[in-house]
Amino acid sequence: MASTRTSFVHPTVDLAVLGAGVMGLVTALTARRAGLSVAVFDRAADFTAGAGWRSGGMLAPECEAEVSSPSVVALGRRSMALWPALADVALNGTLVVAPPRDPAALARFARVTASHRAADAAAVADLESAFEGRFRQGLFYPTEGHLDPRATLTALLARLRDDGVPVTFAWTGTPEDLPAATLVDARGLGARDRLPMLRGVKGEMALIRSRDVTLTRPVRLLHHRHPLYVVPRADGVFMIGATTVESDDGDTVSVRSAGELLTQAYALHPAFGEADILEFNAGLRPAMPDNEPVIRRFGRTLAVNGLYRHGWLLAPALAETVVAVAIHDTEPEAACASS
């Protein structure tokens, strides 16, 4: 059973999860699989306004080592082992390429990352036939993968409800009144009342549909000013992203960012110039001052937050820790606390 640190609420479930984004749903499913009774609550009408809905879905712990700490990489590697039991993921690896005029970019990227192998022009073409004759070399990260965030959120919600877990949207109650032994606060930026040091980091993206380009894995284009990643989805749809903007205004994409995303997509493959633009969108990712995730206890509440640009990558590993803390009534692991 989960912790019963407080006695003013008679528990009817072991775990009540606040927030139905990726962190909340993955925590709920992890807890349910561990045998706990669970309920999920979210103040939004659905999860389409959340950052997880407007993200790439790359599962790339090795590539993220370029800009992330060893602890984030380790959590990401653990999540890679957990994701297949939670949702459908494509484990086709990641391909990294650079403009022909900047071969040193690949060497720099290789030095700060691991678990990759060099790919010459033939190997690049074998991995992605769309790039035949376009790139003389690349790096391939075979242990990485990706998922479709929107399909995955929908599937996680359906799986929870099939398992008898109530998921309540447009919830207007008070967390303290929830009849649960343990509360898990996974509200992202909505948890600033509990974690006032949280800040918003805007990620901008475009969805396009191409009839002329086929990819089987995420592709990263290195660039000293405007790096790009392209993530394939079903029916010829691609998610294009790369921007990280320090801003609490997360609803719109700037003209500059839109131009950079489309220009770099065209540089990756000219056929993207004929693609249809389906959507421009932006989402706010919750980040702590040091960009590290945290798990903190406040009485019977466990707050998990600060996933920054790694929400999909880190959620299963962090959920595993949260559920273990709840079951064993321990303190959160120091490795997951940043300050």
Bridge partner list, 295: 304
d(CA 166, CA 310): 27
DSSP summary character for residue 90: B
CATH of 13-53+148-197+289-336, one of 3.30.365.10, 3.20.20.210, 3.40.50.720, 3.30.1490.20: 3.40.50.720
- The pLDDT tens digits for 118-143 are 999 999 999 999 999 999 999 999 99
Residues 6+ apart with CB under 8 A from 126: none
Output the pLDDT for position 16.
Answer: 97
Q: What is the pLDDT of residue 100?
A: 84
Which segments of the chain belong to CATH 3.30.9.10? 94-142+199-287
CA–CA separation, 103 vs 332, rounded Å? 44
pLDDT for 331 equals 83
pLDDT (0 to 100) of residue 49: 82
Type of residue numbered 161: R
Strand order in the sheet with 167-168: 167-168, 38-41, 13-18, 180-185, 301-305, 294-298
Longest CA–CA span in the chain (Å) reads 68
Low-confidence residues of the chain: pLDDT under 70? 1-10, 333-339
Residue 330: per-residue pLDDT: 84
pTM: 0.93
Q: Would you say 181 and 300 are in contact if contact means Cβ atoms under 8 Å apart? A: yes
**Res 10: pLDDT:** 58
Q: What is the DSSP string of 161-200?
A: HHTT--EESS--S-GGGS-EEEEEE--GGGGGGT-TT-EE
* Cβ 182 vs Cβ 326: under 8 Å: yes
Specify whether the CB–CB gap between 276 and 209 falls below 8 A: yes
Nearest-angstrom CA–CA distance, 59 and 57? 6
Among 287, 293, 191, residue whose Cα is nearest residue 244: 287
Cα gap 48→161, rounded to integer Å: 18
The domain made up of 94-142+199-287 has a fold known as D-Amino Acid Oxidase; Chain A, domain 2 (3.30.9)
d(CA 142, CA 94): 7
**Residue 285 near residue 205 (C-beta atoms within 8 A):** no
pLDDT the model gives residue 218? 98
Could you identify the residue written with the tokens 């998610």?
239
User: Which helix H or strand E contains 109, and what residues bound it?
Assistant: helix 104-111
Stretch(es) of the chain classified as CATH 3.40.50.720: 13-53+148-197+289-336
pLDDT at 310: 94
Q: What is the pLDDT of residue 211?
A: 94
